[in-house]
Chain A
Amino acid sequence: MINKIIESCLKNRFLVVAGFIMLIVWGFTSMKEIPVDAIPDIGELQILVYADWPGRSPKDVEDQVIYPLTTGLMGTPGVKVVRSTSAFGFGIVNMIFEDGTDFYWARSRVLERLDFAKKDVPKDAAVTLGPDATALGQIFWYTVEGDGYDLSQLRSIQDWYVRYQLTSVEGVSEVASVGGYVKQYQIDIDPNKLLAYDIKIHQVIDSVQKSNIDVGAKVFEEGGIEFIVRGLGFIKNIADIENIVITSKEGLPIYIKNVATVTIGPEFRRGALDKHGKEVTGGVILMRYGENPLLVIKAIKEKINELSTGLPKGVKIVPFYDRTGLIMRSINTLKTALIQEIFITVFVIAIFLLHLGGSAVISMVLPIGVLISFILMKRLGVDANIMSLGGIAIAIGVMVDSGCVIVENIYRKIATKAKALGVNRLSSEQRLNQCRAGAKEVGKPVLFALLTTIIGFIPVFVLTGQAGRLFRPLAFTKTFAMAGAAVIALMLLPTLSFYFLRGHLRPVEENKTTKALNKKYLPIISWSLNNKKIIAIISIAIIFLGMVSASFMKQEFMPPLNEGDLLFMPVLLPGASLTQVMEVMKKQDIIIKNEFPEVEWAVGKLGRAETPTDPAPVLMIETIVHLKDKKFWRKGMTREKLIQEIQNKTKMPGVSPIMTQPIRNRIDMLATGIQTPVGVKVFGSDLRKIVDIATKVEKIIKDVPGAISPYAERISNRPYFEIEINREQAARYGVKVGDIQHIIMTAIGGMNLTTTVEGRERYPVRVRYLRELRDTPKALERIFVPTPAGEHIPLAQLANLRKVLGPAVINSENTLTYSRVFVNVDQDQVGLIDFVRDAQERVDREIASGQLKLPPGYFIAWSGQFESEMESRKKLIPSLIIALSVILLLLYLAFKNFRSLLILSTGIPVALMGGIILLFLLKFKFSTAVWVGFIALFGVATDNAVVLLSTLDNIFKERVPKTVENIRKTVVEAGLLRLRPAMMTTMTTIIALLPVMFATGAGSEVMKPMASPTVGGLITATLSNLILVPVLYSWLKERELKKSKQKA
């Protein structure tokens, strides 16, 4: 079949060339359109359901909103687990779906359920589906600034002008406001005056609610004209509210202004924004799932330019986080690496081939191959990011291999033919024949090499969890690139060779590079064949050295990506007030901006932006520190040093200075569940009891060998002020509990009664007691509760008021509250799965013996990263076995004997150890990236050995040497024959990776560890292929000879 393809391609040369030109154009458009982001989204597929219930405690949110909501949402198809968090004023339900579920499909399933689930939730709790964006969606942050404008004015501009206009930009899912104050009409009631006028608070509420409406009353006709009738009555200003009448007493109206003061003030807030010590307001733009961030940000910036003309004088929109920079930097790193790779590869080919046309033909593989992978990426929905582009980058060196083999072979054929015919140049007919013959000859091996590389990558495809999401795109693109290269090599290159390999071709043997190589190789291989033991010892030594280095190396999950911007995230302990946190943030921002010349700007956010994707509590500050270009830095300043200095200079007691990076942090913040290898979940209904049980489990697990600091979650407290209504007392005055609660809600908490309609803007109107009459426990005692008999009873006489400690947040999973025990495991000492089995046994024993009591309704579940490891292992091991056996089968089919397989497999450990030694020298840690690098290495490590072995077999078939010397001579001859192509393919692979190894830009820290195993491994693998393999082969042949002689 391959031969047919090659033949028909050579027949229809014009069509082939035209087809590939079209492919190139298609590739370019795909490249332009493909969504580009810095890193792939490694978060789980989760749909957020967000419940907003302002002012309510975590307990209330959990009991009245989140619990009924989660019960309703359970059983949504495709859902793995439903987790929820109830915090002050809001709750979030995380619905985690199975990997591979379609995002929008999952959303519509949740939406279906939500309708039903909402029915048991209080009416005033706003339950919404989160935006159709993921943690990676926060691509752009900006502040709205302007001298001479106060924060509520700026916030109004942001809320009513900027926000909706930016939301209209294609690809934007949501624009959330943060910081500043929302304007609010505040009616502050003086309870003493209520008492004096004998007015009840609900009269005030009623009157305000009924005094804010515009109506329509159809039309009337007059003189053939229709008039539309309107009743106007919207509140427009403070005076409108002040003059609302509550009631009239003895003919005199009592207005709101008689019992309350009306002002415009800030609404209660749970977030603030600060720039260099000055409070500002701003917003965050969430990009829709699957969009192209570069395009979206570009459109946003255009929109901002359009908007800016319409802003009030002096007001401007200033971005303070822009993903473009990072994306461009990381893509540029890879782009430069790719271009450098292509050039270096071409250069290397040119040296080996010493023929310009030939080199040009081979190098065609690279740009077209890359473009083909872009087409496939676009078609199959693989986004461009450092991982997927990295896949192409590590493929470059291998991609040219097939091209090299084919073109080299055609070259040889033409040259030999010309020499045989004794002409300087062949006719085009002859050339075509030689092209066909040359391509056909190696067509199969080329396809075979491609298959082994792709099959070698199967284990990467089955990776699950974060590793899977991170490396699958890479596996895809590498496969795409390889497939593309194969297609080009088989279809386009023979045709191009026909056009370019004309004129006089110097025979390969006369090539200067070949001569130089041969001159070096000959003495080495001859010596080696005579000193087989020493070679064996060296090989064993290399393996031993590699094993020693491996034992010194550390492990990590993923080399961290340098995002450029820093995220300084100081946190305070639960209970910290917004004012206290604000003070810390302001001071730190001033210091960061003023004392570090490296800092361009520092904008801090405390608490939440008003989006479900930001669940940060008030006690958490997130300051985005944007650094200037490296050339403006002080001398000798490094990123690490800067981080250290910022942490030192802003050190405050009680504040933990955590330094992270914006994207990384967003992903971490939205990750739920257990992040340690092993976790024990204790489910139950009573928070205190489950914590007790969890603590006992912690103690049991502590004694299990291999456990590192098991830790049971404590209840993290924050102060509550509880008003417990005394039902007997309430009954004495004839007051219903609900009436008292209503008073508590309005008088203490303040309640938005209605919303003004002022053009496009809308502001809440709220009623509350005067601040000083409700902000201390003593004042709360004086809240009046009107009774049916017309009395006004202070709250203290109807309820017990007390300060207590309560939970700061309540977490639950699948509707049950739970407490977690986190366990790290020393995996050098004991395997994860063995550890879990051991720990489970011990806990079960304690339960059986009654040491650990589980009340009815309480149970224990085991979870953690070991689950995904188990899952991975379940798939990884079979896939590794399948991959290996398929490769071996293919090899067996190629050679049809086990001896060759044995010789080939010796190359693998040598290659592995070479990679490890290089990693050790470069001080990299073992990470999944490194393993992926190794998998890539195995695909190519034995390629040359295969070719060499087949050559050896062929030669030995042709003539059977009778003496040891002859055997050795023949082996040397075969080695010399394969030396040039072998060196060419390995050199292209190794040298092509050098730009990646030398890259310093964003994203290089992930790529380097991935490239090193291939570079290091190929160095040793080449040595093994060119020396160890011939040595072993000759040893086997010599033994055979000896045996046959003995027999004879």
Chain B
Amino acid sequence: MLKQNNNYYLRLLTIFLCLFLITSCSKNQADKSLQVGQPGKEKISYYTCGMHPSVKMSPKEYKDGQVSCPICNMGLVPIYKESQDKSSHSQERVLFYRHPDNPSITSLSQYQGGEKFIPVYESNQGMAAFYGCGMQGAEHVFLIQDVSEMTCPVCGMDLIKLSKQDADQLVGVVARVNIKGQEAQLAGVKTHTVDKVNLYKEIRTVGKVAYDPDLAITEEEFISSLVALDKMKDSSIPEIKDRALNLLKSAKRKLKLLGLSDQQIKELEESRQVHTSLILPEEKMWIYGNVYEYELGWLKPQSKVKVTTSSFSGQEFFGIVASVNPVLDPKTRSVTFRAQVDNPDLKLKPQMYVDVVISTAYLSPRGELMVLGVPKRAVLDTGVRKIVWVQKSDGLYEGREVKVGPEAVTEVNGEKIKFYPVLKGLSQGDLIVTKANFLIDSQSQLSGSASSAYGGAIGQEEPKGSQTN
């Protein structure tokens, strides 16, 4: 073997080394870090930490994965630059209508004074700008094109061109974020159109089926004094008449103290029938219940009442609140109310313990029954502020600060759902996110698209005067 070539081994070695060098070089040894950037497709704006979104590192500072989150030492994730102008919005929303001849006359409905108004669409195209009349609230701000001398269709004042910040401030927009349809679907985003709903409040309490001989006797006294008065009516002796009248008055006062309303007393006066149901089971029974001071505002005569009892589980008895005691029980800080409920088959017996649910309709400050409502789960509430996420167009979400009234419920498809009446921040037709809104809120913090003061509904506080790069 060696005879053939003295240099055989040396050559072999050289070839070996060369081959080795070549193969090793061609191997891709580049980036071993597990956080691989998405090559080419989108430009990385900066890197951030999934738990500490205020950490921001430029790609230069990121140093190909050598730098991790300074707080938790976890790897950083890239945030891609969002393409600024979203092209073509197929769905255009009608904002309001304007007079065909005089554009300064605007209206919220298409027909006014027998004339057909021309719709004005919301526009996101190049020339569009924000206009508003200076009033706070989403309904006073419009994103439209070519406006010359229009008035606000809501309040009739002139529309002025607004800067984006001003418009955001007036509308209450705190953040915007773009989310791809597929990602939103994966996150389970569900939306709901803001509409006017009937809201009512439910108060749960316990009560007893009335067994009130005192009241029955007082009622009897009252009726007999009425009868007596009738008899004495023609009496010529004023003293007797006065005495009967006094008797009636004191009986009336006693009834009131025991909790009957004027209305009920009047009814009693007319019917002249003692409520025997106060002592015996009858077709209509009285329920006595207690409601706490702080719930008093919701307790109104004529409110619907639903009664259940453990004796007949599953059966519900319905009725209405008849009266509310005028005096507060100092011991329990509660007020007794009376409700009259139907008692089919005479199942409710006096002295029975019952569970009572009172439902009262919510009235808006203006006294309307139908109010704009937002499902409770759409509202991210931290006590500091309440944020609702509005889907503007496919993929664009807008966080708005809202003001809402007291929590109430409404029925949607036979299901009781908790709602808030909206006082400010949303308008009819807004598409709001009811599910995965926490994720959208988080994304707005991660991608930093939120306005600088906004740290998310629940999030990190940005101390004053700090600059994040």
Q: Which residues from chain A sit less than 8 Å from chain B, CB to CB?
A: 192-193, 195-196, 351, 512-513, 515-517, 519-520, 554-557, 559-560, 566, 569-577, 580, 583-584, 587, 591, 619-620, 640, 643-644, 648, 650-661, 665, 668, 671, 674-676, 679, 691-692, 695-696, 698-699, 702, 708-709, 711-719, 721, 773, 776, 778, 781-782, 789-794, 796-797, 802-805, 820, 822, 824, 921-924, 987, 991, 994, 997-998, 1005
Among A619, A650, A711, chain B packs the most CB atoms within 10 A around the CB of A711
> Closest CB of chain B to A65's CB: distance in Å?
23
Selected from B25, B177, B384, B443, the residue in CB contact (under 8 A) with A921 is B25
> Closest CB of chain A to B130's CB: distance in Å?
26
Main secondary structure of the interface of A (DSSP, over half): mixed
Contact B55 A797 (CB under 8 A): no
Question: With the chains together, A575 CA to B381 CA distance in Å?
Answer: 11
Question: With the chains together, A921 CA to B17 CA distance in Å?
Answer: 14
Residues of chain A lying within 8 A (CB to CB) of residue B29: 922-924
Which residues of B317-333 have CB atoms within 8 Å of chain A's CB atoms? 331-333
B294 close to A (CB within 8 Å): yes
Question: With the chains together, A698 CA to B441 CA distance in Å?
Answer: 27
B413 close to A (CB within 8 Å): no
Known A195-B206, A653-B436, A804-B384; contact A661-B467, beta-carbon cutoff 8 A: no
Question: With the chains together, A708 CA to B204 CA distance in Å?
Answer: 59
Residues of chain A lying within 8 A (CB to CB) of residue B55: 711
Contact B6 A519 (CB under 8 A): yes
Question: With the chains together, A577 CA to B439 CA distance in Å?
Answer: 11
Known A512-B2, A654-B441; contact A797-B51, beta-carbon cutoff 8 A: no
Q: Which residue of A lies closest to B463 (CB)?
A: A695
Q: Which residue of B lies closest to A620 (CB)?
A: B51
Contact A576 B74 (CB under 8 A): no
Binds A, one of B58-66, B110-118, B153-161, B192-200: B58-66
Known A640-B36, A805-B384, A922-B25; contact A675-B183, beta-carbon cutoff 8 A: no
> Closest CB of chain B to A1044's CB: distance in Å?
40
Residues of chain A lying within 8 A (CB to CB) of residue B38: 644, 648
Residues of chain B lying within 8 A (CB to CB) of residue A699: 465-467
Contact B383 A805 (CB under 8 A): yes
Question: With the chains together, A675 CA to B49 CA distance in Å?
Answer: 15
Residues of chain A lying within 8 A (CB to CB) of residue B353: 193, 196
Selected from B35, B67, B332, B407, the residue in CB contact (under 8 A) with A776 is B407
Question: With the chains together, A407 CA to B206 CA distance in Å?
Answer: 102
B138 close to A (CB within 8 Å): no
Known A580-B438, A709-B56, A923-B29; contact A555-B21, beta-carbon cutoff 8 A: no
Contact A793 B25 (CB under 8 A): no
Contact A921 B24 (CB under 8 A): yes
Q: Which residue of B lies closest to A658 (CB)?
A: B75
Residues of chain B lying within 8 A (CB to CB) of residue A924: 29
Residues of chain B lying within 8 A (CB to CB) of residue A797: 292-294, 333
Selected from A654, A695, A803, the residue in CB contact (under 8 A) with B442 is A654
Q: List 6 A-B contacts (CB under 8 A).
A: A560-B34, A572-B50, A668-B68, A668-B72, A791-B331, A922-B29
> Closest CB of chain A to B308's CB: distance in Å?
12
B236 close to A (CB within 8 Å): no
B10 close to A (CB within 8 Å): yes
Contact B440 A656 (CB under 8 A): no
Residues of chain B lying within 8 A (CB to CB) of residue A991: 13
> Closest CB of chain B to A808's CB: distance in Å?
9
Contact A794 B74 (CB under 8 A): no
Residues of chain B lying within 8 A (CB to CB) of residue A571: 50-51, 74
B205 close to A (CB within 8 Å): yes
B269 close to A (CB within 8 Å): no
Question: With the chains together, A716 CA to B460 CA distance in Å?
Answer: 5
Selected from A655, A702, A803, the residue in CB contact (under 8 A) with B381 is A803
Selected from B10, B20, B32, B187, the residue in CB contact (under 8 A) with A997 is B20
Q: Other than the known A580-B436, A580-B439, A717-B460, what 9 A-B pairs have Cβ atoms closer than 8 Å?
A: A580-B438, A652-B187, A691-B463, A695-B466, A709-B56, A711-B54, A717-B461, A797-B294, A921-B24
B445 close to A (CB within 8 Å): yes
Residues of chain A lying within 8 A (CB to CB) of residue B84: none
Known A573-B456, A713-B71, A719-B382; contact A654-B466, beta-carbon cutoff 8 A: no
Residues of chain B lying within 8 A (CB to CB) of residue A193: 206, 353
Q: Which 4 A/B pairs are nearest by Cβ-Cβ distance?
A: A803-B383, A656-B50, A654-B442, A822-B70
Contact B184 A653 (CB under 8 A): yes
Contact B458 A516 (CB under 8 A): no
What bracket does the count of chain B residues touching chain A fall in? 35 or more
B371-397 Cβ-contact flags toward A at 8 Å (1 or 0)? 000000000011110000000000000
Contact A576 B438 (CB under 8 A): yes
Residues of chain A lying within 8 A (CB to CB) of residue B230: none
> Closest CB of chain A to B18's CB: distance in Å?
12
B220 close to A (CB within 8 Å): no
Residues of chain B lying within 8 A (CB to CB) of residue A921: 21, 24-25
Contact B36 A643 (CB under 8 A): yes
Q: Which residue of B lies closest to A638 (CB)?
A: B28
Residues of chain B lying within 8 A (CB to CB) of residue A653: 177, 179, 183-184, 187, 189, 436, 439-440, 442-443
Question: With the chains together, A516 CA to B5 CA distance in Å?
Answer: 9
> Closest CB of chain B to A637's CB: distance in Å?
14
Residues of chain A lying within 8 A (CB to CB) of residue B32: 559-560, 1005
Selected from A192, A643, A714, the residue in CB contact (under 8 A) with B204 is A192
Contact B458 A805 (CB under 8 A): yes
Q: Which residue of B lies closest to A657 (CB)?
A: B77
Residues of chain B lying within 8 A (CB to CB) of residue A351: 9
Question: With the chains together, A797 CA to B293 CA distance in Å?
Answer: 9
Contact B333 A516 (CB under 8 A): no
Known A580-B439, A652-B187, A998-B20; contact A659-B75, beta-carbon cutoff 8 A: yes
Known A620-B51, A656-B50, A805-B384; contact A556-B66, beta-carbon cutoff 8 A: yes
Question: With the chains together, A923 CA to B184 CA distance in Å?
Answer: 40
B52 close to A (CB within 8 Å): yes
Residues of chain B lying within 8 A (CB to CB) of residue A668: 68, 72-74
Selected from A660, A676, A717, the residue in CB contact (under 8 A) with B458 is A717
Contact B57 A709 (CB under 8 A): yes
Question: With the chains together, A924 CA to B70 CA distance in Å?
Answer: 25
> Closest CB of chain A to B200's CB: distance in Å?
14
> Closest CB of chain A to B395's CB: distance in Å?
10
Contact B52 A716 (CB under 8 A): yes
Residues of chain A lying within 8 A (CB to CB) of residue B20: 994, 997-998
Which residues of B17-49 have CB atoms within 8 Å of chain A's CB atoms? 20-21, 24-25, 27, 29-36, 38, 48-49
Selected from A513, A691, A776, A822, the residue in CB contact (under 8 A) with B9 is A513
B412 close to A (CB within 8 Å): no
> Closest CB of chain A to B272's CB: distance in Å?
34
B446 close to A (CB within 8 Å): yes
Residues of chain A lying within 8 A (CB to CB) of residue B208: 196
Question: With the chains together, A665 CA to B74 CA distance in Å?
Answer: 8
Contact B187 A715 (CB under 8 A): no
Known A520-B10, A675-B70; contact A656-B30, beta-carbon cutoff 8 A: no
Q: Which residue of B lies closest to A351 (CB)?
A: B9
Residues of chain B lying within 8 A (CB to CB) of residue A517: 10
> Closest CB of chain A to B221's CB: distance in Å?
30
Q: Which residue of B lies closest to A722 (CB)?
A: B383
Residues of chain B lying within 8 A (CB to CB) of residue A587: 186, 188
Question: With the chains together, A556 CA to B384 CA distance in Å?
Answer: 44
Residues of chain B lying within 8 A (CB to CB) of residue A569: 74
B88 close to A (CB within 8 Å): no
Contact A515 B51 (CB under 8 A): no
Residues of chain B lying within 8 A (CB to CB) of residue A712: 463, 466
Contact A714 B384 (CB under 8 A): no
Residues of chain B lying within 8 A (CB to CB) of residue A793: 332-333
Among A654, A675, A714, A776, chain B packs the most CB atoms within 10 A around the CB of A654
Q: Which residue of A lies closest to B28 (CB)?
A: A923
> Closest CB of chain B to A1007's CB: distance in Å?
13
Known A652-B183, A695-B465, A718-B458; contact A574-B51, beta-carbon cutoff 8 A: yes
Known A560-B33, A575-B438, A660-B75; contact A676-B70, beta-carbon cutoff 8 A: yes
